[in-house]
Structure 1
Amino acid sequence: MRRSHWWALPCAALVLSGTAPVAAADQVRDGRSQPVFAAEPVRETVWVETGLDGDGDGLSDRVAADIARPAGTDQPVPVIMDASPYYSCCGRGNESELKTYDEQGRPLGFPLFYDNYFVPRGYATVLVDLAGTNRSEGCVDVGGPSDITSAKAVIDWLNGRSPGFDAPTGGNPVEAGWSTGDVGMIGKSYDGTIANGVAATGVEGLRTIVPIGAISSWYDYYRSDGVSFGFDPVGLAENVEEGGRPDCGPVKQQLIDGAPANGDVTPLWTERDHLPNAGQVTASVFAVHGLGDLNVKTIQFGQWWDALAARGVPRKVWLSQTGHVDPFDFRRAEWVDTLHRWFDHWLLGVDNGITEEPAASIERAPDTWVDEPDWSGEQAQDAVLYPSADGLVPQPAPGGTASFTDDPALDEYDWAAQPDQPSPARALFSTASLTDDLRLAGTGSVTVTAVPSTPTAHLSAVLVDYGPATTRDYLSPGEGIRNLRTESCWGESRPGDDSCYLDTETTTADVDFEIIARGWADLANHASLSEEEPLEPGQPYTMTFRLATADHVVPAGHQLALIIGGTDSMFIVPPGQPGQIGLDLAQTSVTLPVVGGAPAVTASGLEAAFDRLPQVRPDRVPPRPDVQLNRDETGS
């Protein structure tokens, strides 16, 4: 049952009837809600029944929803929700904040600035512990039905469709009469992934989501086209459960059984793929992703965005040069203002023009942003280039071959660092120096016709921009930012709930090449990602696999190169029997999403030659990442 929305009523009706809330006239000014709710917020916990019994105790699991909402008003308010498994194990935000509680167990310290900033402006903030984490019952299942239902059930409770109680067991029923029922979900990483998954259920009441560095397919977090990144969801489940929850053993075993090490797609992975259900999304989407994010890789954004665009979902995007970083920590003032107006529009109905503003903002150089009416990745055209003895060219050259030997001790930076030197571990093909800028925006792919010398073969492909540049240092521990000693405050500080956070600054690196997209595959999955098959040495196999989504301008004077190798030790596990791999170049190609179409590529001087590749200065080679890449996803 839907509750009334005071802001959706005709203004004349509000004035003539005299029913407008006292604060309504003052709440919005200059297109923004104002901090007119100054009283100490109401803070409470409601345990919401999910209808699931993950821990097998015969009772419906209840999840804890910690609430901060305006006090002293009868005006119903919308909700900003962050559903997370990290509130007790790992923390949220750049400073890894945890939830805290007072002596009576009432919520006190809320991580992040959402409650400090938005509660005075007429919103409630609801932080949900996913099932099996912190104060919630049940078991975490890493993106599965338990995770998604944890948050969906709270939206249902806010709309009167699910029961809530004032205790984890027993207790008195609690209703959300203070809420309009309208919800905006937000969160970075795992939290944003939950927002994607809940939106894909089409739940009524979810008006907008703001996924930051979020996953759209859990398979693509742990695997890639048949190859494994070397870690599995059970490790993440154990981490967020803090090693406990013995009743969740069967759920963990399901995670183990459903995620085979060989990288095949299984029912466990398809159940955790939100892309097929993008057609059920009725919420608007404001996505944020770092183009240097090597944890939640950019394919997660690209494929989700394409699915939303195909269905006309209202959407907005920020693409930064950072790694896995929240925009609060790389573009703080602009982020808070934009997020404020976004929520005001979608949750308070404020006509502030934000949906008429440019829908895409892309960081082209450190702290240099460009805006577009729509993200150009939607309009990019495929351009197909072919490796040959002359480099990377627009037409296939018949009869050409190349080969390399898989060396699992090497990685993509070993392959790229000396482009002018031959290497037995990779095949490298480059354009000549480009005569015009070349923008790649979207998700490309590589097709190989490969001849293995052993029954197992893993493949890696890398796109490289060769030429000097200054970039955000997304390979450093801060992934493009550094904490300062100063603080800035956003919203009201309360005892036990500070609104002040460390300021940051941009970190940069001077490089002579940049890896702009990468992809990986198991050649044994050439016919099916659901079932691998042993390879017959000496026989050719053709396989197409994806590159990560990119938005990058290769400047005039630079060169674009494709590198094909075996095991990229930064990311993937080696095959059982690494060996030599031959390539049939006439049947090998790379498909690039080019803004401006194929003519822009062929006009850019593609008469490539190996001897024209630049000599990379040793002091300008990008450093290998200090961040831990092959790891279970965390909320850091």
Structure 2
Amino acid sequence: MLRRRRFFSIFTHFGAVAFAFVGSVTSGGAEPAVPVFKDGEAQVVKAFEDSDYWIRHDLWVETEFDSDDDGKPDRMHVSVTRPQQTETEGLKLPVVYVSSPYFAGTGKKGQEFFWDVRHELGATPPERKHVPGVERKGSRPIISKSHVKEWVPRGYIVVHSSSPGTGLSQGCPTVGGDNESLAPKAVVDWLCGRAHGYTTPGGDEEVVAHWCTGKVGMTGTSYNGTIPLAAATTGVEGLEAIIPVAPNTSYYHYYRSNGLIRHPFGFLGEDIDYLYDFIHSGNEARRDHCDCEVRDNQMLAGFDRVSGDYNDFWAGRDYLNDLEPLKAAVLMAHAFNDWNVVPEHSVRIYEALKAKGVPAQAFFHQGGHGGPPPMKMMNRWFTRYLHGVENDVEKDPRAWIVRENDEREKPTSYDDYPNPAASPVSFHLAAGAPQRGQLTTDPAADQGTETLVDNFSFDGASLAQAEWTKHRLIYVTPKLSKSVHLSGTPHISIRLASNKPAANLSVWLVSLPWTEGKDSKITDNIITRGWADPQNHQSITDGQPLVPGDFYDVRFDLQPDDQVIPKGQQIGLMIFSSDRDFTLWPDPGTEITVDLDATSLSLPIVGGKEAFTEAEQESAEAK
């Protein structure tokens, strides 16, 4: 007869780790529970499935930094959820690890705490009202329940941690500073037996991760997706694979664009110092110190909300600069209509990883912010790199894209992103203001100049739909007789003059006629967008005032995309100044004059110029 005993989850008290018993565990000759794999994927194991038998406990991992300057290394609050067999049967399993600044709660949201965007370009903005102190939420030992239902039953341990200066983790939040890379590194080191964990934030009673195989994967979305990349840039041993979803890979590219002060969609006026306030839920005894040293002395002194130039402050929060040590296999995930963390964040890292030779795949969809890869893709990724099962995932297609109107779980595979069959096609402008000009692959000579007048009162969608307006310039192709597949990063070169020393410059690529969707800001009509400061026409690090009336060549990329423009639509290039949803709002009246003959657009089209010309010609013949 089998003997059974009751087994409770581990829970932690300050100064002691206690065990109690809650569920039955089979002993006395029963076959031990182990992970099971089928078709290269970890399967749900019944013995791991019942959450009543999971062991949960928390601890503090000591780091190698002292970001709150209290004379002691900061300790990160960590929680663990693992199958009971890791205690009763000595089973060792790999870890899926998630870290976040949000687990313990966040500060107040609202326009009253953002920067006022209603001022002239180059002017010092009025001071911002700080968010009141964040009150920590949640109770030990559980920091978060995310990911446990997906991964624990499949033979993984799930670990969570609060990032520095949040929750019960010590230190200061830095929003992309070095400690936000070194904190998850310390947790990985602890999981692999190289760092110390303790039962309390100040004690010396140790906790050892005897149940970990030494293989760790990380994942998460948005800020939680940034931290896996941050950890991987340290090159820490044992971090074998990461799946960042919509990660913020550069805080400059989040809050600025080609020298221009630009805000994430839906958060007009937000800047990095507000995000600091928003996440700072940590130790109240050190909060004033952190506010002074990090927010006031580093952020407010370094982020330059006047010029928008790229500088050392921003370079220190750009993970593209830190990729050399990275060796973890990376499955990137992003949406092409993410106007919060725009898609270039993942594309720029993906391109660098390919050049570096790191195992990398990319999953893209057509929705908005967030959206992980299908479970099958993530399962294969972690099965290969954490369990070591040879499932040939590295031989899978490198890019997976959810096509228009397809289900998120059914992406189409491609050899790579951008589509290898895509090549740049140059488009030129033919005059038509204040109505619509033409966008054509054949340049027409002597088109002269056209002028728009800035007015932030009109949003981009209204300007794109307007038949006649002086507040934008727009140039459209003929109606397409066949669909056109764009894949890659459009590039624009504009020769322009301003009647003032500074001006916003916004560019949208749109599909016409306009059809409103459920969300007018994530409509199929917005193909992609881009923003730049003409003062930074030579360098994003050194913007210089414009000489009114002088022409300058401004060149920059729009956001990456992969989209099929359907038959019957027209592709439109819209040039305007202030983008109501993203930029500052200077007084209306700034005039931007565009030299049409010296302005061009490059679009990455699958099939190249031949494919576009065929659709264009058939459309003309149909007339």
Shared fold per TM-score greater than 0.5: yes
Amino acid across the alignment from 1:43: R
- Structure 1 pair 444–606 and aligned structure 2 pair: CA distance change class (3 A): farther
Asked whether 1:106 is paired with 2:141, we answer: yes
Match of 1:500 in 2: none
Question: Structure 1 residues 124, 578: CA separation in 2 closer, same or farther (over 3 Å shift)?
Answer: farther
Cα pair 1:462 1:515 within 8 Å, conserved:
yes
SS of alignment partner, residue 153 of structure 1:
helix
Provide the rounded CA distance (Å) in 2 between the counterparts of 1:167 and 1:370: 46
CA distance in 2, matches of 1:133, 1:603: 57
Aligned to 1:166: 199
Aligned match of 1:190 in 216, 219, 223? 223
Report the counterpart of residue 111 of structure 2 in structure 1: none
- Cα distance in 2 for residues equivalent to 1:373 and 1:358: 6
Structure 2 residue 508 is the aligned partner of structure 1 residue 459: no
Question: Secondary structure at 1:191's aligned position in 2?
Answer: helix
Quick one: structure 1 residues 553 and 239, their matched pair in 2 at CA, closer, same or farther if it must change by over 3 Å?
same
Deviation at 1:475, TM superposition (A): 4.6
Match of 2:299 among 219, 235, 255: 255
1:28 to 30, 33, 37: 37
What is the DSSP-based 3-state SS (H/G/I as helix, E as strand, rest coil) of the residue aligned with 2:213? Answer: strand
Alignment partners' CA distance in 1, 2:389 and 2:171: 39
Q: Corresponding residue for 1:67?
A: 80
Deviation for aligned residue 1:275: 1.6
Cα displacement (A) at 1:376: 4.0
Q: Which runs of 5+ in 2 are unaligned?
A: 1-29, 108-135, 263-268, 432-436
Distance 1:223 1:607, change over 3 A: farther
1:383 Cα deviation from its structure 2 partner: 1.7
- Partners of 1:388 and 1:224 in 2: CA distance: 28
Kindly provide the CA deviation profile for residues 42-95 of structure 1, in whole angstroms up to 9, marking residues without a partner as x. 22222112221111111111111111122223122111011100001149xxxx
Letter in 2 for 1:280: P
Paired residue for 1:374, among 415, 421, 424?
Answer: 415
1:399 and 1:597, CA in 2 relative to 1: closer, same or farther beyond 3 A?
Answer: same
Indicate how the Cα distance of structure 1 residues 474 and 197 shifts in structure 2: closer, same or farther if over 3 A, else same.
Answer: farther
Shift of 1:116: 2.5
CA distance in 2, matches of 1:280, 1:607: 52
Task: Give the AA of the match of 1:377.
Answer: P
Distance 1:189 1:158, change over 3 A: same
Q: Which residue number corresponds to residue 493 of structure 1? A: none
Matches within 5 A, 1:200-599: 200-229=233-262, 230-242=269-281, 245-249=287-291, 250-253=293-296, 254-261=298-305, 262-327=307-372, 335-368=374-407, 369-379=410-420, 380-389=422-431, 391-400=438-447, 401-418=449-466, 421-467=467-513, 473-475=518-520, 514-575=525-586, 579-599=590-610
TM superposition shift of 1:594: 1.7
Query: Secondary structure of 1:519's match?
Result: strand
Using the TM superposition, name which of 549-558 and 26-35 deviates more: 26-35
Distance across 1 between alignment mates of 2:593 and 2:151? 59
Say if 2:94 and 2:216, in contact at 8 Å, map to a contact too.
yes
- Whether the 8 Å CA contact 2:465–2:514 is kept in 1: the answer is no
Query: Structure 1: where are the runs of 5+ without partners?
Result: 1-20, 92-97, 329-334, 480-510, 613-636
Amino acid at match of 1:374: D
**Deviations 1:237-286 (CA, angstroms, capped at 9, x unpaired):** 11111495222121112111111112111111111111233343311222
Q: Distance in 2 between matches of 1:535 and 1:30?
A: 61
Query: Greater relative contact order: 1 or 2 (C-alpha under 8 angstroms, separation 6 or more)?
Result: 1
The structure-2 alpha-carbon separation of the partners of 1:346 and 1:367, relative to structure 1 and needing over 3 Å to count, comes to same
Q: Is the 8 A contact 2:222 2:370 kept in 1?
A: no
TM-score (norm 1): 0.79
Shift of the 469–579 alpha-carbon distance from structure 1 to 2, 3 Å rule, reads closer
C-alpha separation between the residues in 2 aligned to 1:142 and 1:429?
40
Contact 2:99 2:227 in 1 (8 A): yes
2:243 maps to a residue whose letter is: V
Alpha-carbon offset, residue 583 of structure 1: 0.6
Change (3 A) 1:310 1:26: closer
Contact 1:393 1:608 in 2 (8 A): no
Aligned-pair Cα RMSD in Å: 2.6
Give the direction of change, closer, same or farther, for the CA distance of 1:605–1:373 in structure 2 (3 Å limit). Answer: closer
Cα shift at 1:460: 0.3
Separation in 1, partners of 2:589, 2:325 = 43
How many residues get paired? Answer: 536
SS at match of 1:600: helix
Tell me, yes or no, if the aligned pair for 1:377 and 1:595 is still in contact at 8 Å: no
Separation in structure 1 between the aligned mates of residue 609 and residue 32 of structure 2, nearest angstrom: 57
Q: Give the superposition deviation at 1:303.
A: 1.6
Q: 1:279 to 1:384 in 2, by over 3 A?
A: farther
Partner of 1:87: 103
Normalised by the length of structure 2, the TM-score is: 0.80
The whole-number CA distance in structure 2 between the counterparts of 1:241 and 1:432 is 52
Relative to structure 1, the CA distance from residue 204 to residue 25 in structure 2 (aligned partners, 3 Å threshold; closer, same or farther) is closer
Structure 1 distance, partners of 2:399, 2:154, is 26
Structure 1 counterpart SS, 2:386:
helix
Cα distance change of structure 1 residues 139 and 25 upon mapping to structure 2, 3 Å threshold:
closer
Which residue pairs with 1:488 in the alignment? Answer: none
State the SS of the aligned residue for 1:351.
coil
Change (3 A) 1:576 1:417: closer
TM superposition shift of 1:29: 4.2
Closer, same or farther: CA 579–341 of 1 in aligned 2, 3 Å: same
What's the % identity of the aligned pairs? 35
Q: Deviations over 1:421-478 (max 9, x none)?
A: 221111101111123221111222211111111111110000011147796x4557xx
Pick which of 58-67 and 167-176 moved more.
167-176
Q: 1: distance between equivalents of 2:255 and 2:163?
A: 21
What is the aligned counterpart of 2:93 among 56, 64, 77? 77
What do the CA deviations read for 1:76-128 (whole angstroms, capped 9, x no partner)? 2111011100001149xxxxxx9843xxx422x7332x222322332111111
Distance 1:171 1:34, change over 3 A: same
Q: Secondary structure at the match of 1:570?
A: coil
Mapped to 2, the partners of 1:573 and 1:608 lie a distance apart of 40
Cα pair distance change 1:578/1:251, threshold 3 Å: farther
